[in-house]
Amino acid sequence: MALIDARLLDPSSGLDAPGGLLVENGRIADLGPNINRDGLAEHFEVVDCGGHCLAPGFVDMRVQLREPGEEHKETIESGSRAAAAGGVTTIVCLPNTKPVIDDIAVVEFIARRAREVKLVKVFAYAAVTRGTEGADLTEMGLLAAAGIPAFTDGTKAIGSASLMNRALSYASTFGKMIIQHAEEPTLAVDGHMNRGEIATRLGLRGISPLAEILMIERDLRLVEATGGRYHVAHVSTADAVAAIRAGKARGLPVTCDTAPPYFTLNETAVGDYRTFAKLSPPLRSEDDRAAVVAGLADGTIDVIASDHAPQDQDSKRLPFAQAEFGAIGLETLLPLTLGLHHKGDVPLLDLMACVTCRPADLLGLPSGRLTKGAAADLVVFDPDQPWRVEEASFHSKSKNSPFEDHPVQGRVSRTIVDGRTVHARSD
């Protein structure tokens, strides 16, 4: 395959230049400004990118696939199709399936199903604690040897300081990091949205922003004591961004990610009890949203993940207090991320780093770069194409997006995994 007339983007090398790329045997054979239609061998399938961006396929480090256990919401196949449509070539799924991914048998099941589906690359985290119950550590050594990229209890916080202390120490012996859902459980219990004037007016129980910062500050002390690698998932508050910035300045091995809802929306999106805007952590104040944008701009926030959390209609079409948390995000990851570029908040290459080389580096995955010899995991996209998010266009089994009817700019036209086209738009 020869991809020509492209704008090559590779944040790992700072490449942003016109050119083309050759794929042979599923790997990048060559790339650069001299690759064009002239002189190509006849056996190449030629793909004219029309001047659009050609970048490494996106690496999404926070995805819920619901298989095994809740296949009516999402399966590895439907989630993989949604990922391909969104330009994501590697996904890492959370362990909160049924059963929980806390032993090698479930890790191997995920890997086998991904091979059968053969769309995007699928990796699975292993739980920190058995059943994500927060009591006993899993067999971290065996799970690390099985190839899991990191440990997390997914949508549950590790509430016990003692347990987190042991987890950080134990995981560090295998070179793995602990990913924390930073929400102090006793402050978040029974909460439904961000605590504040809007929650009071709607009569909903609020979740204090303190729940996030208290957990992070506690954990940073433990990181300092153990030296373990620590990653905060979906950062949503100004105080959390400031604490992580300070931790990095002290040289602690701490990183973090956020998701598009936290830099695109604020708590007003809940509106008149819109359950599709019920997220965990909740949408915060406008000041918090602006702080997340600032954290992305100055590099405090390392990664943007989709935080894909599919829920069926029976789980969302309920009174707000009873509805499940979460929103899908794989297919809107690119345009919502590009929104920061179009507004002038964050340069394009910096944003691309947040969804390619940085998550790959954090997890030790051989992805996220345009280099000769690397697997040809690629995405072609028009950064300027306007469109409107529509439920009917989603490939995911679930449709719970808070961005329904939201105007966006930037669309994937082709996704390639190991040199195979796994998604192509005709328009």
Is 8 in contact with 54 (CB distance < 8 Å)? Answer: yes
Tokens of 385: 């194409």
Tokens of 413: 């036209």
Instruction: Report CA-CA distances (Å) from 176 to 97, 253, 357, 374.
Output: 21, 12, 18, 23
Instruction: Report CA-CA distances (Å) from 184 to 21, 22, 219, 289.
Output: 48, 49, 11, 20
Burial class (CB in 10 A: 0-12, 13-18, 19+), 373: exposed
| Nearest alpha carbon to residue 414 among 426, 404, 402 | 426
**In terms of DSSP bridges, do strands 2-10 and 53-56 run parallel, antiparallel, or are they unpaired?**
parallel
**Which residues lie below 8 Å from residue 15, measured CB to CB, with a gap of 6+?**
8, 9, 370
* Torsion of the alpha carbons at 182, 185, 187 and 188, rounded to the nearest 10: 80
Chain centroid to CA 316: 22
As a whole number of angstroms, the distance between CA 285 and CA 317 comes to 25
To the query of whether residue 314 is one of the catalytic residues in this protein, the response is no
As a whole number of angstroms, the distance between CA 51 and CA 8 comes to 9
Q: Which residues of 393-403 are buried (b: 16+ CB within 10 A; e: fewer)?
A: ebbbbbbbbbb
Is 82 in contact with 372 (CB distance < 8 Å)? Answer: no
Is 94 in contact with 64 (CB distance < 8 Å)? Answer: yes
**In terms of DSSP bridges, do strands 88-93 and 230-232 run parallel, antiparallel, or are they unpaired?**
unpaired
Indicate the SS3 state at residue 392.
helix
| Nearest alpha carbon to residue 122 among 133, 110, 134 | 110
Catalytic one of 102, 288, 307, 377: 307
Which residues are identified as catalytic?
A: 307
